[in-house]
Every structure is written in structure tokens, then in C-alpha cells.
Structure 1
Amino acid sequence: MPGFLAERAVDARELMDDPACDPETLRRTYERFALVNAAVSGQKAVYRRWIRPRLRAVRGTGRVLDIGTGGGDLPRRVRRWAERDGLRVEAIGIDPEPRAVAFAAGRGAPRGVRFERASSSDLRDAGERFDVVLSNHVLHHLGDDDRDALLADSERLLEPGGVAVHGDIERSRAAYLAFAAATWPLQSTLLRDTFIRPDGLTSIRRSATAAELRAALPPGWHVRRAFPSRLEAVWEA
């Protein structure tokens, strides 16, 4: 991959991460996350492959943690899918960003779902335990030390037999060009006045390849490729 996208653009910054970004644009961005994640984040596949089998193995109510929950769409979907499968789950979405938590909580939460302003280390220190620990498009935001801390926290937050799955984008020209082409005609409609298109392209530039992520993971973790242009860092307790 010579030239463009040959290396991670670790110094690039997403617009929505700016504390001074326009709050209305940020709100609309959170609103659209559910649609974008449904299209590109493989949430239903994550549920089927990792979450549902673990919930079926749990006697009683399984606990699922979504780290960096953003708009809070994943905990809601996990709760809905589990209910349809006749499974009991408590789904918790955490985020250190107060604007994200305010948005997620402000939309209300069904029974069994809650949102908290917290980090993985806060829950680790509180002695919390979960059957599944997740994140979606979080890893590319983190420097090496913060990524390693998140992975270590994930291990400590898991119940025996639990699984941690941190999904992210796989950096490639194909992913960049596909996202750019797919979102171009939506700029004046669905994505109007949001950060989704520019930040999505920045996210791809900041993301790792499979080889880079594999080299960065501690022992016991492995990388799995998923569709579309996704990577999963997985640890099974």
C-alpha cells in the first residue's frame, strides 16, 4: 500500500472530538450513528457470533458492556435482539464524553439498558464484571498506552467464560474509496450538517491494518477480519 494510507494518520483529529465543535451538528451526528453503524459496523453479526452464544450459556441475566457507546444505539439493539431470542440481558453503555452520555440517556432507555459517564477503568476499580465487553470504532481513537489500558481493563472486567470484542475499521484504499463514494450523494440529505462523512474518512486514515493491530495486541488476544472492512480484536476469558 505505497503512498496514500501507507501509514496510520495518528495525528489526524476528528471534528466531533473537538470540545468546541458545534453542539447542534454534534447532536445530529449522534442521531445518524444508528443508521451508519447498521450499515458499516456489523452489529448484528457481532451479536450472532459473540453475544448470543454467551447469553445462552449464562444462567440468569447476562451483562453486556459497550465502551465508548456514543449515541447508545448498540446497547438498545442488543437488548432488542436478546429479547426476541428469549434471552435476558443487562446492557450498559459507557462513555467518558459527557455530550455523548447526555444524548444517549436523553433519548430514554428501555428496561435493561442504561448509560453512564464512565471509563473502563472506573468500572474495573468498582469491581464490575460482564459476560461480554464490546467497543465499536474506539481503538483508532486511542494512543498505544490508552489502547493497552483498555485491553487490560477488558480482561479484568470479564466473567469467567466471557468474551471481549473490540471492533474497528481496517485501513485500506478500498475502504476509504468505498466510504467516500457511498457518502458523497448523501451529503445534502441524510448526512447534511453532521460530522459523519469527514470524520468517517479521518477514522479510516487513523485505523490500523490487520497486521498492525495483530502486532500491537498483548498475548492471548487475536485479530479476526469481518465484513465490511472491519477488524475485531478478541479475547476469550
Structure 2
Amino acid sequence: MPDFSKRGTTPELMDHEEVPFEEHRAVLRQLTRANELSLAYRPTLAFFRRLKREGRLPKDRPLVVIDAASGYGDMSRKIDRWAQKNGVEARFLGVDMNPLAARAAAEATPPGRPITWLTANLFDFRADFEVDIVMSSLFTHHLPGPELVGFIRWMEETARIGWIVNDLKRHPLPYYFLKAAFFATRQHRFMRHDGPVSVANAFRRGDWQGLLAEAGLSPGAASIEAWTPFRLCVTRVTDATS
């Protein structure tokens, strides 16, 4: 039984084990389905709705969004559809270090949408254009503390308007639920292993408070908010105006 009082350190299979493209794509599709069932898109959609409501989005040019560790690209496509429906002109750049993810994301993206997929190490990536928002989903629990602090600093340097981290809350209930559910539904072995491990490697509020302070953010500069079921999201809105 994991010690839920602190973040786990067990590696996830998908981070280290190479599989053929078709198998990798199948796992990404299963993960997307799990995101849909767990209402995973709500916090990120709420963040964009808030920015629009507060008048923080650009009025004379497209909004520029980086999707950090974009995976299958479902979050970018979800926000792109929201932007279309709400009269927001937006451009998306999905950055993922796995070329199979970029290929799968490109195949799943309707033709003509303003979304570009780039294979790159996020920590080596420096945009040569103005970036408004950085968003990530189910990425930060993959990072050990020092790398996560570096990622927070990178978002601070990169995003003009703000950033959002959409991730999991560490708790025994989702850990054992995913362990049982993914086994019972015969999910891919990556899902059966990595799902519970993701929860054990995830966060509680105190973790984020310490990480934000270590990254140099003052208390209250970022908001830490729990979402049902078992999501813990961090948002930061700068003082920049559109």
C-alpha cells in the first residue's frame, strides 16, 4: 500500500517503455476516454471562461496557447471547440517529447484547425513568439520536485496572461478505484499500471504550496483548487492586460 502522506516515485510504463505506434495510439485513446468519464476538461474550460469573462483575452490578435506535454491533443481540441463557439480566435501549439504522441494528435485533429504539433523536450523549448497561456493536463505528476519547480518557472517566463496545471489529487480512493476499474474493464497494461501510479505520484495542497514557494511565487500568486472527482488544479493569472 502506498504512503499517501507523500508523493510516490514509481516510474510510469508509458514514460519509459517503447511500443509500436498503433499500440501507443490505442493507449492515448483509452486515456482520453478516461478523461471524458472523469470530467477532466472542466477545470481548464473554466479557466478560459474566466479569462474571457474578465476581458483578459487579446482583442486585436489571436490568443496563443501552448499545450505542454500535449499527448493525444484532446485538451487542445476541446479548448479549440470552445473558442470556436465563443468567438475567440486562438492558435494552439502542442509540445510533446514523444513523436508518436505528436503523430497521433495530428491524425485526430480535424483538417484546417489552428493547432500545430511539435516534438520537443519542453525544458529545451523557448518560443520565439509571444505566448499568452500555457496549459498542461496530467503532466506534472510525472515530474520529480526539482523538475516541477523548473516547469513552474518556465511557465512564469513563457506565459503572458497566465497558466493552468490540471492534475490529480493524491488519495487512496481513486488509487484503488482505478486499480480495480482498469483491471475489470481490461484496459491496456499501461493503463492498469500507470493509472494508480499517477494518483500515488500526484499532489495534495501542501505539496503545491511548497513547490510554488520554491519556484519563487509569493503566497496567493497562484490559486490551488480542488475539483470533483479528485482533481487538484493550479492556476495563475498575471497582471498583464490584453
Find the counterpart in structure 2 of residue 146 from structure 1. 147
Does 1:58 find its partner at 2:58? yes
TM-score normalised to structure 1 length: 0.85
Distance (Å, rounded) in 1 between the aligned partners of 2:123 and 2:15 = 20
Q: Quote how far apart the aligned CAs of 1:119 are.
A: 3.6
Provide, for residues 94-146 of structure 1, a one-character-per-residue CA deviation record: whole Å limited to 9, x for no partner. 1112221122123344421111112444443x333322211111111111221
Find the counterpart in structure 1 of residue 182 from structure 2. 183
Find the counterpart in structure 1 of residue 30 from structure 2. 32
Q: Structure 1: which 5+ residue stretches go unaligned?
A: none
Q: Quote how far apart the aligned CAs of 1:76 are.
A: 1.0
Q: Quote how far apart the aligned CAs of 1:26 are.
A: 2.1
Q: Structure 2: which 5+ residue stretches go unaligned?
A: none
The question of whether the paired residues in 1 share the 8 Å contact of 2:62 and 2:91 is answered with yes
- Tell me the matched-pair count: 227
Indicate the SS of the match to 2:84: helix
The question of whether the paired residues in 2 share the 8 Å contact of 1:223 and 1:232 is answered with yes
The worse-fitting range, judged by mean Cα deviation, of 170-179 and 71-80 is 170-179
Find the counterpart in structure 1 of residue 114 from structure 2. 112
Indicate the SS of the match to 2:87: coil
Q: Which amino acid aligns with 2:73?
A: G
Q: Quote how far apart the aligned CAs of 1:204 are.
A: 0.8
Q: Quote how far apart the aligned CAs of 1:17 are.
A: 1.4
Q: Quote how far apart the aligned CAs of 1:223 are.
A: 1.8
Provide, for residues 177-228 of structure 1, a one-character-per-residue CA deviation record: whole Å limited to 9, x for no partner. 33234434321xxx3x352232111111111222122222132334221221
Distance (Å, rounded) in 2 between the aligned partners of 1:138 and 1:96 = 12
1:195-234 to 2 correspondences below 5 Å:
195-218=190-213, 219=217, 220-234=221-235
Distance (Å, rounded) in 2 between the aligned partners of 1:151 and 1:233 = 10
Q: Which amino acid aligns with 2:108?
A: R
The question of whether the paired residues in 2 share the 8 Å contact of 1:41 and 1:136 is answered with no
Q: Which amino acid aligns with 1:39?
A: L
Q: Which amino acid aligns with 1:229?
A: F
